[in-house]
Amino acid sequence: MSTGIPILLYHSICDDASPRFQDWSVHPELFAAHMEYLHSHGYTPITVTQLATAMNEDAWCLPDRPVVITFDDGFADFCTGALPVLQQHHFVATLYIITGLVGGTSRWLLREGEGDRSMLTWDQIAMIDSGGVECGTHSHTHLQLDTLPAAVTREEITRSKSVLEQHLGRQVSTFAYPHGYYSSAVLRLVKQAGYSSACAVKNAMSAETDDRFALSRIIIPNNTSVESFAALLAGRGLRIAPVRERIATKGWRIVRRSAGIFKQRPTVAPQLRPQRKDWNGN
């Protein structure tokens, strides 16, 4: 596949966001237009686990024009802005949930002016899960895992899995790295916790050759027109996995560790905003 497989990354689907959070919010009407484009152009959405399973099998078998639709964080507006549109088109998707913030607010976004944004409740998550959307974990409290002591990172990864499994009554198979940050040590801990896949960011197309524990995703920012969306789906200007970690990523990790900024800092560093090709440094 010369163009690879697009794994789309959305966050909040809403019509109102603070200036510092606008990059991570997509208006419901624009999201609906994106999904209509997928439908009218013959794309077939699959879940992250379906993609990872295909990667792990001897025969690489996927439907024509596969696409993966993912959502990070678990904002309450998923139920109003995204779910009805997905159901209208009978689309599957994968939703990554911060288990320690369920039923609360997005307190990690305080500096973006979004600390009071509502998160999904457990009742809503149960409804979403029963409706065919795959639910995975996005850690327990949304810390930058690659800057933490191993014991704390392990707790964030394993606790989120056990909490979500307890509420859903089934195994949870997929994980997404908070802020897009991970390292080889964090990746090993995700494997050890029993997940079968994990999503990074990288702003690159996934492919059969991708690492299923660091899957490449494409951020969809709030200014993504339908024309730009089509270009992303075609992989124009995007690399194809596998994508190696850049030296700049390693340097930024060292800076974050030394400064201890994992405690309370913006969701992503200014130089890693979604319009840049090196979001997550990759």
Q: Which domain holds residue 214?
A: 7-277
Residue 263 domain flag: yes
Counting the structural domains of the chain, the total is 1
Alpha-carbon 257 to chain mean position: 23
pLDDT in tens, 166-212: 999 999 999 999 999 999 999 999 999 999 999 999 999 999 999 99
| Mean pLDDT on 116-123 | 98
- Domain CATH number, residue 256: 3.20.20.370
Structure tokens at 11: 């966050």
pLDDT bucket at 132, cuts 50 / 70 / 90: confident
Residue 1 domain flag: no
Q: Across all residues in the chain, what is the average pLDDT?
A: 89
- Candidates 61, 69, 62; CA nearest to 87 is 69
Euclidean distance between CA atoms 255 and 259, whole angstroms? 6
Whether residue 114 has pLDDT greater than 70: yes
Alpha-carbon 64 to chain mean position: 23
Residue 26 domain flag: yes
Question: Which residue(s) pair with 239 in the sheet?
Answer: 204
How far CA 105 is from CA of 111, 170, 240, in Å, comes to 14, 25, 36
The C-alpha angle with vertex 123 and arms to 51 and 198, in degrees rounded to 5, equals 25
Q: Name which of 147-156, 195-204, 246-255 the model is least confident about.
A: 246-255
Residue 43 domain flag: yes
Q: Name which of 51-55, 161-165, 271-275 the model is least confident about.
A: 271-275
Instruction: Provide the strand spans (E) within 223-277.
Output: 239-240
Q: Name which of 2-16, 148-162, 164-178, 243-257 the model is least confident about.
A: 243-257
pTM: 0.89
Residue 282 domain flag: no
Q: What is the pLDDT of residue 260?
A: 58
3-state SS string for 189-224: HHHHCCCCEEEEEECEEECCCCCCCCEEEEECCCCC
